[in-house]
Structure 1
Amino acid sequence: MMSKEVDKNRGQIQFFAMDDLVPQDHMLRLVDKAIDWSFIYDLVEDKYSQTTGRPSMDPVTLIKIPLIQYLYGIPSMRKTIKEIEVNVAYRWFLGLDLRGPVP
């Protein structure tokens, strides 16, 4: 018998931890575990003003985005941003929530 109700679950509200959506053996989990990203803050600290200008984007995020592009062979930054918008593992790696904008 053919079922025609495949779309009925799309609007459901569900509670979950984003951490549960990314498999434990995912490559980005391995990368994130292997690298202590805090060194980036020390490298760029003198490039940011504490008193003037707008709030900046996290410099670690600025490094991780091109890393995703390289690791997954995405041909352009524009395409990378589009992929980050829909890929839960990429969002997890960058520390973004599911509904928030991609930098």
Structure 2
Amino acid sequence: MLTKNTQMNRDQIEMIALEQLVPANHLVRKIETAIDFSFIYSLVQDMYSSERGRPSIDPVVLIKIAFIQYTFGIRSMRKTIEEIETNMAYRWFL
């Protein structure tokens, strides 16, 4: 049962950066430090059109999503997206 005081504490707004929510020793921080994902842009340059169609999802984000799925043993893409929606470390990584 929630007391009135507990409910009031939940309604408070606090501004914090996503950076503060991810522990310094989390695996995604180590991966981000070890791998420069910018090489992906040159590999997919011919496959993306900047002149036609809808804006695409950043190719680095797509690769990082698959990287999260494989590294953390998530069995489906749907479950991976659900995890990304709630896991702040994954969101920071992307």
Instruction: Answer whether TM exceeds 0.5 for this pair.
Output: yes
* 2:89 counterpart residue number: 89
* 1:64 counterpart residue number: 64
CA deviation vs aligned residue, 1:56-91 (integer Å, no higher than 9, x gap): 110000000011111111111111101111000000
Amino acid at match of 1:16: I
* 2:49 counterpart residue number: 49
Higher helix share: 2
Do structure 1's residue 20 and structure 2's residue 20 form an aligned pair? yes
Q: Alpha carbon RMSD of aligned pairs, Å? A: 1.6
TM-score, normalised via structure 1 length:
0.82
Unaligned stretches of 5+ in structure 1? 95-103
Which stretch of structure 1 is more off in the superposition, 5-14 or 74-83? 5-14
Amino acid at match of 1:74: I
Shift of 1:4: 4.4
* 1:101 counterpart residue number: none
Where do 4+ consecutive residues of structure 1 move more than 3 Å?
A: 3-7
* Greater RCO, CA 8 A, separation 6+: 2
Identity %: 59
